[in-house]
Chain A
Amino acid sequence: MTGAELFGLFGHFLLLSLLAVGGAITTAPDMHRYLVTEQHWLNDAQFTSSIAIAQAAPGPNVLFVAVLGWNAAGPLGAFATTAGILLPSTVLSLWATRWGSQRRETRFVRSFTNGLTPLTLGLLLATGWVLAEPYVRVPQYRWGALGLIAITVLVMVRTKASPMWLVALGALAGVLGLV
């Protein structure tokens, strides 16, 4: 990757940082569009496995961004994407919490929150779709993957079990060749 492309990568993640209302994962569909569809730096399988690796490791989910950067352009790529996704939101967050906490009940802050909540939820569903699609498209993996997704959703909605056990279950199902 050239220096200019690396800078473009950094710039794109700077922008995504400010659009990540509802968490970094909600921008995954756009990362996919940029990294896979537009720039061809990653393929579908690399994109999804990057997120799966981050899920398998401890720590905040946002780390999948570092893995995407690493897989697209090595250590510099990881630095570009991680710094990009963290910088603007960190600055804004520090400034806005001081400003907004005194104005939480004003109509401006409330319309901001309430206006963006539905978009956040739509983006979460879109992220689930983008993550599941590469498996569901392949007939060989389709039913196993759909089964795992259904079990995950059921357990998460109905019980208070830790996601850690589901990640382990997924790994086991994969090792046994069920997915």
Chain B
Amino acid sequence: MSGSASEATPPAAPANLRELFFAFNRLSLQGFGGVLPVAQRELVERKRWLDKQQFVEMLAVSQVLPGPNVVNLALMFGDRCFGVRGAMTALAGMMLAPLVIVLLLTVLYGQYSHHPLVSGALRGMGAVAAGLVISTALKLLPTLRRNPMGRWLALGFSALTFVTTALLRWPLVWVVIGLGSLAMALAWHRLARAEPPQ
């Protein structure tokens, strides 16, 4: 977000915290199976609070940071508009109503879970949920081609992560500390070779 992109005034901005809250409330409630596509449509195309470039840059940062991506995006956008108060407002707008809805569904499901139609529907949605996650991974795999480690080494790290977490069920913390630092060290080494010293 360095350079001119962040200094250029966005085409418009939320007038106050209330407008920010309801904007995130609205986009979140439209997000079945993921909020990100709706966020792009609302913030960039409808409200024009961000241009495409700003949205993509924010998304990139929100994906690098730990935590739920779209929540990070809301925090960053709110912070940019109204500081910490804005960040909390955007977060609340995005989380509160859907949280109530999902917990109501959970309670309802608990009462009807033995009904074959309900458990059948949940089974079907569960399989689709698995497919959605897998397809996200498949869509992002080509980005490894541009990884400074090189495509094959990067794919190797992906495969090792899959085997250790999905098949061997190692605790994630050790996988991230072990494989993660090795991968970061390799990336650092390759970048150092490719770049003139800073």
Contacts of B9 in A (CB 8 A): none
Closest CB in chain A relative to B167 CB, distance in Å: 8
Closest CB in chain B relative to A137 CB, distance in Å: 13
Q: Which of A124, A162, A170 contacts B136 (CB 8 A)?
A: A124
The B interface is mostly helix, strand or loop, or mixed, namely: helix
Q: Tell me the bound Cα distance from A105 to B106 in angstroms.
A: 44
User: Is B113's CB within 8 Å of the partner chain A?
Assistant: yes
Do A90 and B91 touch across chains, with their CB atoms under 8 A apart?
A: yes
User: Is A2's CB within 8 Å of the partner chain B?
Assistant: no
Do A23 and B134 touch across chains, with their CB atoms under 8 A apart?
A: no
Interface stretch among B15-23, B42-50, B92-100?
B92-100
Q: Tell me the bound Cα distance from A164 to B125 in angstroms.
A: 10
Number of interface residues of B (CB under 8 A): 102
Closest CB in chain B relative to A3 CB, distance in Å: 22
Q: Tell me the bound Cα distance from A116 to B161 in angstroms.
A: 11
Query: Which residues of B80-101 have CB atoms within 8 Å of chain A's CB atoms?
Result: 84, 87, 91, 94-95, 97-99, 101
Contact with A along B117-159 (1 / 0, CB 8 A): 1011111111111111111111111011001110000111111
Contacts of B140 in A (CB 8 A): 120-121, 124
User: Is A126's CB within 8 Å of the partner chain B?
Assistant: yes
Do B127 and A24 touch across chains, with their CB atoms under 8 A apart?
A: no
Q: Which of A37, A49, A61, A116 contacts B122 (CB 8 A)?
A: A49
Do A57 and B187 touch across chains, with their CB atoms under 8 A apart?
A: no
Contacts of A177 in B (CB 8 A): 120
Contacts of B126 in A (CB 8 A): 48-49, 51-52, 55, 131, 134-135, 145, 170
Contacts of B138 in A (CB 8 A): 153, 157
Q: How large is the interface on A (under 10, 10 to 19, 20 to 34, 35 or more residues)?
A: 35 or more
Closest CB in chain B relative to A135 CB, distance in Å: 6
Closest CB in chain B relative to A65 CB, distance in Å: 9
Q: Tell me the bound Cα distance from A24 to B177 in angstroms.
A: 17
Query: Which residues of A44-77 have CB atoms within 8 Å of chain B's CB atoms?
Result: 48-63, 66-67, 70-71
**Given contacts A61-B68, A177-B120, are A145 and B127 in contact (CB under 8 A)?**
yes
Which chain A residue lies CB-closest to B83?
A: A94
Contact with B along A132-165 (1 / 0, CB 8 A): 1011000001001100111111001100001110
User: Is B8's CB within 8 Å of the partner chain A?
Assistant: no
Do A148 and B32 touch across chains, with their CB atoms under 8 A apart?
A: no
Closest CB in chain B relative to A90 CB, distance in Å: 6
Q: Which of B68, B79, B176 contacts A62 (CB 8 A)?
A: B68
Contact with B along A117-132 (1 / 0, CB 8 A): 1111111111111111
Which chain A residue lies CB-closest to B78?
A: A94
Q: Tell me the bound Cα distance from A171 to B126 in angstroms.
A: 9
For the complex of A and B, 4 pairs with smallest distance between CB atoms: A89-B67, A59-B98, A152-B131, A163-B33
Which positions in B face A, CB cutoff 8 Å?
Answer: 1-2, 6, 28-35, 37, 61-72, 75-76, 79, 84, 87, 91, 94-95, 97-99, 101-103, 105-106, 109-110, 113, 117, 119-141, 143-144, 147-149, 154-162, 165-166, 169, 171-173, 175-176, 179-181, 183-188, 191-192, 195, 198
Which positions in A face B, CB cutoff 8 Å?
Answer: 15-25, 27, 29-30, 33, 37, 48-63, 66-67, 70-71, 78, 82, 85-86, 88-90, 92-94, 96-98, 100-102, 104-132, 134-135, 141, 144-145, 148-153, 156-157, 162-164, 166-167, 169-179
Q: What are some 7 contacts across the A-B interface (CB < 8 A)? A: A22-B63, A29-B166, A29-B169, A59-B95, A100-B64, A114-B148, A132-B130
